[in-house]
Amino acid sequence: MVLTRREIILGGLALLGAGAARTPAFAQASSYFAGTTVDNNVTFRKTNFAKIDRKWHRQVVKYFSSEPIGTVVVDTRHHFLYLIMENKTAIRYGVGVGREGFKWFGRATVDRKSLWPRWTPPPEMRKRHPELPEFVAGGSPKNPLGPRAMYLHRDGADTGYRFHGTLEPWSIGKDASSGCIRMFNEDAIDLYQRCPVGTAVQVLPHIADQAQQAGQLPETTAVE
Protein backbone atom coordinates (compact mmCIF):
# COMPACT_ATOMS: atom_id res chain seq x y z
CA MET A 1 0.00 0.00 0.00
CA VAL A 2 1.43 3.38 -1.03
CA LEU A 3 0.22 6.49 0.73
CA THR A 4 -0.40 9.61 -1.34
CA ARG A 5 0.91 13.06 -0.42
CA ARG A 6 -2.66 14.10 0.44
CA GLU A 7 -3.10 11.14 2.80
CA ILE A 8 0.14 11.90 4.59
CA ILE A 9 -0.58 15.64 4.93
CA LEU A 10 -4.18 15.29 5.97
CA GLY A 11 -3.54 12.24 8.08
CA GLY A 12 -0.71 14.02 9.83
CA LEU A 13 -2.77 17.12 10.48
CA ALA A 14 -5.81 15.26 11.77
CA LEU A 15 -4.70 11.85 13.03
CA LEU A 16 -1.01 11.75 13.80
CA GLY A 17 -0.61 10.34 17.28
CA ALA A 18 -1.24 7.18 19.26
CA GLY A 19 -4.39 6.26 17.39
CA ALA A 20 -2.80 6.59 13.97
CA ALA A 21 0.23 4.62 15.10
CA ARG A 22 -1.98 1.56 15.55
CA THR A 23 -3.06 1.48 11.91
CA PRO A 24 -1.30 -0.93 9.48
CA ALA A 25 -0.64 1.90 7.00
CA PHE A 26 1.13 3.97 9.62
CA ALA A 27 3.17 0.97 10.74
CA GLN A 28 4.30 0.33 7.17
CA ALA A 29 5.20 3.98 6.68
CA SER A 30 7.19 4.01 9.91
CA SER A 31 9.41 1.21 8.64
CA TYR A 32 10.86 3.67 6.12
CA PHE A 33 12.41 5.68 8.95
CA ALA A 34 15.19 4.80 11.37
CA GLY A 35 15.84 7.06 14.33
CA THR A 36 16.21 10.82 14.28
CA THR A 37 18.86 13.42 13.63
CA VAL A 38 19.18 17.17 14.11
CA ASP A 39 19.68 19.70 11.32
CA ASN A 40 19.80 23.44 12.01
CA ASN A 41 18.13 22.88 15.39
CA VAL A 42 15.29 20.85 13.85
CA THR A 43 14.90 17.17 14.72
CA PHE A 44 13.66 14.96 11.90
CA ARG A 45 13.35 11.28 11.13
CA LYS A 46 16.21 9.68 9.20
CA THR A 47 15.46 7.60 6.13
CA ASN A 48 15.88 3.87 6.66
CA PHE A 49 18.01 3.22 3.59
CA ALA A 50 18.10 -0.49 4.40
CA LYS A 51 14.46 -0.46 3.28
CA ILE A 52 15.25 1.38 0.03
CA ASP A 53 16.28 -0.36 -3.20
CA ARG A 54 19.95 0.47 -3.77
CA LYS A 55 19.24 1.82 -7.24
CA TRP A 56 17.68 4.85 -5.57
CA HIS A 57 20.65 5.46 -3.25
CA ARG A 58 22.85 8.47 -3.96
CA GLN A 59 25.90 7.38 -5.97
CA VAL A 60 28.53 8.51 -8.44
CA VAL A 61 28.04 7.24 -12.00
CA LYS A 62 29.77 7.58 -15.34
CA TYR A 63 27.98 10.32 -17.24
CA PHE A 64 28.62 11.89 -20.64
CA SER A 65 26.91 15.19 -21.36
CA SER A 66 27.40 18.39 -23.32
CA GLU A 67 25.97 20.32 -20.35
CA PRO A 68 28.47 22.27 -18.22
CA ILE A 69 29.79 20.92 -14.93
CA GLY A 70 27.42 21.88 -12.13
CA THR A 71 24.27 21.52 -14.24
CA VAL A 72 21.39 19.49 -12.80
CA VAL A 73 19.66 17.16 -15.26
CA VAL A 74 16.48 15.30 -14.31
CA ASP A 75 15.45 12.11 -16.10
CA THR A 76 11.76 11.96 -15.26
CA ARG A 77 11.06 8.62 -16.93
CA HIS A 78 13.64 6.75 -14.92
CA HIS A 79 13.35 8.87 -11.77
CA PHE A 80 16.95 10.04 -11.55
CA LEU A 81 18.47 13.45 -10.91
CA TYR A 82 22.05 13.96 -12.07
CA LEU A 83 24.45 16.64 -10.84
CA ILE A 84 27.15 16.82 -13.48
CA MET A 85 30.67 16.59 -12.07
CA GLU A 86 34.16 16.59 -13.56
CA ASN A 87 35.82 13.71 -15.42
CA LYS A 88 32.62 12.56 -17.14
CA THR A 89 30.87 11.65 -13.90
CA ALA A 90 27.74 12.75 -12.08
CA ILE A 91 26.18 12.30 -8.69
CA ARG A 92 22.93 10.45 -9.29
CA TYR A 93 20.00 10.74 -6.91
CA GLY A 94 16.77 8.76 -6.96
CA VAL A 95 13.76 11.08 -7.13
CA GLY A 96 9.99 11.13 -7.29
CA VAL A 97 8.45 13.11 -10.14
CA GLY A 98 5.08 14.46 -11.25
CA ARG A 99 2.25 12.04 -11.70
CA GLU A 100 0.18 11.96 -14.89
CA GLY A 101 -1.19 15.41 -15.66
CA PHE A 102 1.51 17.14 -13.58
CA LYS A 103 4.64 16.37 -15.57
CA TRP A 104 6.76 19.18 -16.99
CA PHE A 105 9.94 19.43 -19.01
CA GLY A 106 12.36 22.15 -19.97
CA ARG A 107 15.07 24.41 -18.63
CA ALA A 108 15.11 26.44 -15.45
CA THR A 109 17.52 27.81 -12.85
CA VAL A 110 17.71 27.51 -9.09
CA ASP A 111 16.91 31.13 -8.21
CA ARG A 112 16.17 30.69 -4.51
CA LYS A 113 17.02 28.20 -1.76
CA SER A 114 15.49 27.72 1.66
CA LEU A 115 16.44 25.87 4.84
CA TRP A 116 13.43 24.21 6.46
CA PRO A 117 11.05 26.10 4.17
CA ARG A 118 7.50 27.03 4.99
CA TRP A 119 5.02 25.25 2.71
CA THR A 120 2.19 27.26 1.21
CA PRO A 121 -0.10 25.12 -0.97
CA PRO A 122 -0.59 26.88 -4.32
CA PRO A 123 -4.09 28.23 -5.06
CA GLU A 124 -4.80 25.54 -7.64
CA MET A 125 -3.96 22.81 -5.11
CA ARG A 126 -6.20 24.35 -2.45
CA LYS A 127 -8.95 24.59 -5.04
CA ARG A 128 -8.66 20.83 -5.59
CA HIS A 129 -8.27 20.18 -1.86
CA PRO A 130 -9.91 22.99 0.14
CA GLU A 131 -9.27 21.08 3.34
CA LEU A 132 -5.55 21.88 3.11
CA PRO A 133 -4.19 24.53 5.49
CA GLU A 134 -3.09 27.95 4.25
CA PHE A 135 0.47 27.05 5.17
CA VAL A 136 2.59 24.63 7.18
CA ALA A 137 5.51 26.08 9.16
CA GLY A 138 9.07 25.18 8.26
CA GLY A 139 10.43 22.42 10.47
CA SER A 140 6.97 20.99 11.12
CA PRO A 141 6.90 17.18 10.88
CA LYS A 142 3.83 17.66 8.67
CA ASN A 143 5.63 19.89 6.13
CA PRO A 144 5.88 18.01 2.80
CA LEU A 145 8.91 20.03 1.65
CA GLY A 146 11.17 18.57 4.30
CA PRO A 147 14.49 20.17 5.28
CA ARG A 148 15.35 21.94 2.02
CA ALA A 149 13.73 23.50 -1.02
CA MET A 150 15.36 24.78 -4.20
CA TYR A 151 12.99 26.99 -6.19
CA LEU A 152 13.04 26.69 -9.97
CA HIS A 153 12.58 29.82 -12.07
CA ARG A 154 12.43 30.39 -15.80
CA ASP A 155 13.01 33.79 -17.45
CA GLY A 156 12.91 35.39 -14.03
CA ALA A 157 9.51 33.93 -13.09
CA ASP A 158 8.80 31.24 -10.51
CA THR A 159 7.71 28.04 -12.24
CA GLY A 160 6.02 26.83 -9.06
CA TYR A 161 8.24 23.74 -9.10
CA ARG A 162 10.94 22.83 -6.60
CA PHE A 163 13.51 20.27 -5.65
CA HIS A 164 12.67 19.35 -2.07
CA GLY A 165 12.60 16.65 0.58
CA THR A 166 9.64 14.44 1.33
CA LEU A 167 7.48 12.92 4.04
CA GLU A 168 7.12 9.85 1.81
CA PRO A 169 10.45 8.11 1.16
CA TRP A 170 8.55 5.20 -0.41
CA SER A 171 7.47 7.57 -3.23
CA ILE A 172 11.04 7.95 -4.55
CA GLY A 173 11.23 6.18 -7.89
CA LYS A 174 7.55 6.84 -8.63
CA ASP A 175 5.31 9.33 -10.40
CA ALA A 176 3.79 10.74 -7.25
CA SER A 177 4.04 14.52 -6.95
CA SER A 178 2.17 17.53 -8.29
CA GLY A 179 5.15 18.33 -10.50
CA CYS A 180 7.91 19.00 -7.99
CA ILE A 181 10.99 16.79 -7.81
CA ARG A 182 11.01 14.90 -4.51
CA MET A 183 14.18 13.63 -2.89
CA PHE A 184 15.10 11.72 0.22
CA ASN A 185 15.57 14.34 2.92
CA GLU A 186 19.26 13.47 3.23
CA ASP A 187 19.66 13.89 -0.53
CA ALA A 188 17.85 17.23 -0.55
CA ILE A 189 20.31 18.44 2.08
CA ASP A 190 23.24 17.13 0.02
CA LEU A 191 22.06 18.71 -3.25
CA TYR A 192 21.32 22.00 -1.49
CA GLN A 193 24.93 22.18 -0.35
CA ARG A 194 26.26 21.48 -3.85
CA CYS A 195 23.99 23.76 -5.91
CA PRO A 196 24.42 27.53 -5.54
CA VAL A 197 21.76 30.00 -6.60
CA GLY A 198 21.97 30.27 -10.39
CA THR A 199 22.47 26.53 -10.97
CA ALA A 200 21.20 25.54 -14.41
CA VAL A 201 18.54 22.82 -14.52
CA GLN A 202 17.26 20.71 -17.39
CA VAL A 203 14.25 18.45 -16.93
CA LEU A 204 13.96 15.77 -19.62
CA PRO A 205 11.45 13.00 -20.32
CA HIS A 206 14.25 10.41 -20.31
CA ILE A 207 17.98 10.07 -20.77
CA ALA A 208 19.00 6.83 -19.05
CA ASP A 209 18.03 4.69 -22.06
CA GLN A 210 20.48 6.59 -24.25
CA ALA A 211 23.18 6.48 -21.59
CA GLN A 212 22.86 2.73 -21.15
CA GLN A 213 22.94 2.12 -24.89
CA ALA A 214 26.17 4.08 -25.06
CA GLY A 215 27.61 2.13 -22.16
CA GLN A 216 27.72 5.25 -20.01
CA LEU A 217 26.32 3.98 -16.74
CA PRO A 218 28.08 0.71 -15.95
CA GLU A 219 30.04 1.97 -12.97
CA THR A 220 28.60 3.28 -9.74
CA THR A 221 30.15 4.31 -6.46
CA ALA A 222 28.19 4.96 -3.29
CA VAL A 223 28.25 8.51 -1.99
CA GLU A 224 28.16 8.81 1.78
CATH of the domain at 75: 2.40.440.10
The answer to whether position 40 is within a domain reads no
CB count within 10 Å of CB 7 equals 15
Question: In which domain, by residue range, is 132 found?
Answer: 53-222
Q: At 206, is the pLDDT very low, low, confident or very high (cuts 50, 70, 90)?
A: low
Q: Which of the pair, 50 or 177, is modelled with greater confidence?
A: 50
The answer to whether position 143 is within a domain reads yes
Does residue 59 carry a pLDDT above 70?
yes
Number of domains in the chain: 1
Arithmetic mean of pLDDT over the chain: 81
The answer to whether position 48 is within a domain reads no
Dump pLDDT digits (tens) for 5-41.
444 343 443 333 333 333 445 567 899 999 999 999 9
The answer to whether position 61 is within a domain reads yes
The answer to whether position 131 is within a domain reads yes
The answer to whether position 44 is within a domain reads no
The answer to whether position 62 is within a domain reads yes
Q: What is the pLDDT of residue 127?
A: 82
The answer to whether position 141 is within a domain reads yes
Does residue 188 carry a pLDDT above 90?
yes
